[in-house]
Amino acid sequence: MSTRLTEAISRHEALTIAVSGGVDSMILAHIAHSVLGRRARMVHAISPAVPPLATERVRDHGARSGWRLELVDAGEFDDPRYRANPVNRCFFCKSNLYAAIAGLTNSPIASGTNCDDLGDFRPGLEAAQQWQVVHPYIEAGLDKAAIYALARHLGFGDLAELPAQPCLASRVETGIAVNASDLAFVDHMETLLRADLGQAATVRCRITHAGVIVETEGEAPPASIAAACRETGRDYLGHRPYRRGAAFLKVDK
């Protein structure tokens, strides 16, 4: 285990970890629990934008490891700024999340943000700064590869095999209003894709202004994916290689 990471955690009397269900926040929760015990509190937000499997994973790990775990509704779907899906949608998502968590605790809030995230477009980091969220991985100088290595070292093989899993709203192209039915469709399609390509496959079902596009990293999806999409009455535009952040459309000023 990283000494710098345990130091970044242990310098706090108590921490509240925002646990999304992805490998970064899950491993942070496990390590915080081992370092702080009951002084580490885990909070997971249930939302149409969070895949049900992610919530199930949080519940399972929390029960097996004895986490002090709370599930909340962060309330982002009550925020019209979030639902409008501007390019900085993540700012409004994280603002609602951190506000909800801050209402539960007086301890600092910690995120699973790592060093690789600093070079990406992350409006949520601005919200984190406003809520004085701490980032133990960044303090420890750890990137995504180091977190996967920690997952393997700690014996969490299921987490070590997880692909990157941003929220389902990240699949909806900028300017298309976010709604629960679209996100349920995205989750359904990506579940079908992983059933065919493997649970560790990187897949994205993008809802664009023109129609639905499926992205995979490597093997193309089966023809049945197109049929499954069209059964919902949506226009299927086809397949393309995975591109990170492809749903963001920045408007030139």
- How far is residue 73's CA from residue 44's CA, in Å, rounded to a whole number? 9
**Phi, psi values for residue 226, rounded to 5°:** -60, -45
Provide the strand spans (E) within the chain: 15-18, 40-45, 68-72, 109-110, 203-207, 212-216, 236-241
- At 253 the pLDDT is 40
- At 78 the pLDDT is 96
Beta bridge partners of 69: 42
Report mean pLDDT in 10-residue bins for the chain, 253 residues.
92 98 97 97 97 96 97 96 96 97 96 91 91 98 96 95 91 96 97 91 95 92 92 94 81 45
Q: Set out the domains of the chain in order of their start, with CATH numbers.
A: 3-160 (3.40.50.620), 168-241 (no CATH)
- At 252 the pLDDT is 45
Return the closest-CA partner of residue 204 out of 94, 51, 73, 58: 51
- How far is residue 97's CA from residue 45's CA, in Å, rounded to a whole number? 7
- How far is residue 210's CA from residue 78's CA, in Å, rounded to a whole number? 27
Reduced DSSP (H G I as helix, E B as strand, rest coil) percent helix, strand, coil of the chain, to 5 = 50, 15, 40
